[in-house]
Structure 1
Amino acid sequence: MTITRRQFIHTAALGAAALSVPTVLRAQEAKTLRLGITTPPGHPWNNAALKVGEMLKAETKGRLDIAVFPANQLGTEAAMLQQMQAGSLDLGWIMTAELGSRIPAVAAINAPWVVDSTAKVAKLVREPVAMGLLDVLPAETGTIGLAWGITTMRVVFTAKEIGGLEDLNGMKLRINTTPAYRDFYQLLGAAPTPIPTPAVFDAMSNGQVDGLEADLDFSWNQRFDKVSKTMLKMNAIFMPCVALASGRVWQGVPAADRELIARLTKAALDEQIDATVANEGKLLEEFGKAIDIKEVQVTDAGKIIAEYDKIWLPKAPVLAELRKVGATL
């Protein structure tokens, strides 16, 4: 029988005795939950994860706590998902790039021009259609989706000055390897070039790639302004994350603790979402001191969307609903 996300969150741990659950939290048992995340210390997602731990420790008077392992210390996102499936990792905040490579319906949220601003991203992930994307996670990944976190709309940094979108044609562009992004940038004529995140700064410096795409917070954390001449702001795509709990672990957690962890996680990420919108202007101002920012109005966006949706609508019909909701925000 398929167990839904809602059942995991709201039902008592009836299956704990039947399943081999490696982590069982008893009412008075002190426990430090382990949370893996790919982003580096100082990133807004990391700060939100730390805040969840602080609030959890305070509300349980030290009975429950969270240890956050940043920057892929516990392995890649794929490895962390495997650990959650096995029950050896309690929590993981995983980007939709990884989840979408496994589940096309989740990848639909990465489609271009579903929304066209960070403020609209903040609204979209709170809509029922976005929350509904998490319902498939228990059956597909053995994890429970607790809440969304967001980034700013992604931008393109280039090692040389460019004039606009047409200059991406033929450019070796470091992108996230998710198929949703690959298909978009190929439609723009770029040559997607996968490079591990720690190597991106040097790859930009030595000409291994001509540019990269990323969100503003991560890019400022990594100081990509120091190896870039131009920022292309297309307002086309974004990359959220999902705060996940291991399904195997979750079934052994008392219902009251499950509800508390889910509530605090959503509260911290709601705050992160709002802060990301509020801080975007300041980040753009800082980048603008060092590099040229070009705001691009894509005149043929409709054509690109049509070509993209030919690829993705058959795989992810929910994309049509996401576009419909996004147009109203």
Structure 2
Amino acid sequence: MISRRTLLAAAAGATLPLAAPGVLRAQARDLRLGIITPPGHPWNNAALKVAEVLKEKTGGKLTMTVFHAGQLGNEGAMMQQLQTGALDMAFLQAAEVGNRVPNVAAILAPYVIRSTEAAAKLVRQPIAMQMLEPLPKETGTLGLGWGITSIRVVFSAKEIDGIAGLNGMKLRINTTPAFRDFYSLLGAAPTPIPTPQVYDAMANGQVDGLEADLDFSWNQRFDKVSKVLMRMDAVFMPFIALASGKAWQTLSAEDRALITAATKEALAVQVDQTVTNAPKLLKDFEGTGIKIVVPPTADAAPIIAEYDKIWAPKAPILPELRKIGATLG
């Protein structure tokens, strides 16, 4: 396994011992980036921006092809391709990386942040990059930075007035254990449904509710199959821009620096745009006439205590993450 020191040195532009020195950019090279979201999604736009900058800065010698909508497989498959060097880069959800590195999953804990604005601030804190330091050793990848989604909301097909309404609800969730444990503590029955089938599952009563970020929810128009939108202000799903450790070593220091800078710039724009768009999306939902419920903040305290009994031993960074999150508004 590639060591963290080796990859971090590469990120800083140091010269690496290469198995084949001739692979450094002497001719045109097309990088491959995988992503599960469809064309037009904010994450995809960020990936395409990286590709645009690389082509412009190198006069077309270094380009990037973005494989949208899981064309290369699901996130687990893309992680494996990163590890073998078959894939150069990927934008993967923190859930996928957190399955392998529990400290990364800590960012998914409920009530670490309470708003999209706070989520944006959190991924820009030094602790966010600190959480990615074990990736070279644990996954053979290098974390170049974070992107975000808006804070997630819950849609319900039945009338609910607060968190208690989730008790007994068949709730479609992201399958990550971090979310599963949270919603289980609330009494819900977490139900995994493939993303393309979520709308129909709500429409035909296969599930009573679902949780998702605002962008995806508006694109899918979940308000049309729901009576209530509950603003949990509890969890969000960031993503990580990952580079393959094996592929990284075949790049020159100049190219590594260029890719890192282009990625960080594109992610910064994506984060800012997500913050700007979140209130607009909420207004769009308000305009549909759907009932919007905002549970009292005090309801969160018992859940935080129970959740941390489960997750603090697995993700020791969680208490520090909570302290920092509490300062972000």
- TM-score, with length taken from structure 2: 0.95
Aligned AA (1:162): I
Tell me how many residue pairs correspond in the alignment. 325
**1:319–1:27 distance in 2 versus 1, CA, 3 Å:** same
Alignment of 1:3-82 (within 5 A): 3-4=4-5, 5-17=7-19, 26-82=24-80
Q: Offset of 1:223 from its aligned partner?
A: 2.4
Q: Secondary structure at the residue paired with 1:278?
A: helix
Q: Structure 1 residue 234 and structure 2 residue 236: aligned?
A: no
Q: Distance in 2 between the 1:160 and 1:251 partners?
A: 53
* Deviations 1:266-322 (CA, angstroms, capped at 9, x unpaired): 101101101111111111111122222212224231111110000011111100110
Q: Distance in 1 between the 2:117 and 2:271 partners?
A: 9
Q: Offset of 1:11 from its aligned partner?
A: 4.5
Q: Distance in 2 between the 1:325 and 1:25 partners?
A: 43
* Deviations 1:239-287 (CA, angstroms, capped at 9, x unpaired): 1000001100000000110010011101011011011111111111111
Q: Offset of 1:118 from its aligned partner?
A: 0.8
Which residue is equivalent to 2:301? 302
* Deviations 1:55-113 (CA, angstroms, capped at 9, x unpaired): 11111111111111111111000000000101101110000111111111000000011
Q: Distance in 1 between the 2:23 and 2:224 partners?
A: 47
Q: Secondary structure at the residue paired with 1:249?
A: helix
Q: Distance in 2 between the 1:148 and 1:250 partners?
A: 18
Q: Secondary structure at the residue paired with 1:71?
A: coil
Q: Distance in 2 between the 1:199 and 1:230 partners?
A: 20
Contact 1:43/1:221 (8 A) holds in 2: no
Aligned AA (2:271): I
| % same residue | 62
Counterpart pick for 1:142 among 125, 129, 140: 140
Q: Offset of 1:13 from its aligned partner?
A: 4.7
Quick check: 269-278 or 24-33, which moved more? 24-33
Q: Offset of 1:227 from its aligned partner?
A: 1.8
Which residue is equivalent to 1:156? 154
Q: Distance in 1 between the 2:291 and 2:164 partners?
A: 17
**Residue segments in structure 1 that go unaligned for 5+ positions in a row:** none
Contact 2:4/2:133 (8 A) holds in 1: no
Contact 2:82/2:141 (8 A) holds in 1: yes
Quick check: 7-16 or 113-122, which moved more? 7-16
Which residue is equivalent to 1:2? 3
Moved over 6 A (4+): none
Q: Distance in 1 between the 2:4 and 2:119 partners?
A: 29
Which residue is equivalent to 1:191? 189
RMSD of aligned C-alpha atoms?
1.5
Counterpart pick for 1:91 among 89, 92, 96: 89
Quick check: 185-194 or 295-304, which moved more? 295-304
Which residue is equivalent to 1:315? 314
Which residue is equivalent to 1:265? 263
Aligned AA (1:97): A
Q: Offset of 1:234 from its aligned partner?
A: 1.2
Quick check: 293-302 or 276-285, which moved more? 293-302
Q: Offset of 1:7 from its aligned partner?
A: 2.0
Q: Offset of 1:37 from its aligned partner?
A: 0.6
Q: Offset of 1:153 from its aligned partner?
A: 0.7
Contact 1:146/1:243 (8 A) holds in 2: yes
Q: Offset of 1:26 from its aligned partner?
A: 3.1
Which residue is equivalent to 1:102? 100
**Residue segments in structure 2 that go unaligned for 5+ positions in a row:** none
Q: Offset of 1:162 from its aligned partner?
A: 2.0
Q: Offset of 1:25 from its aligned partner?
A: 5.2
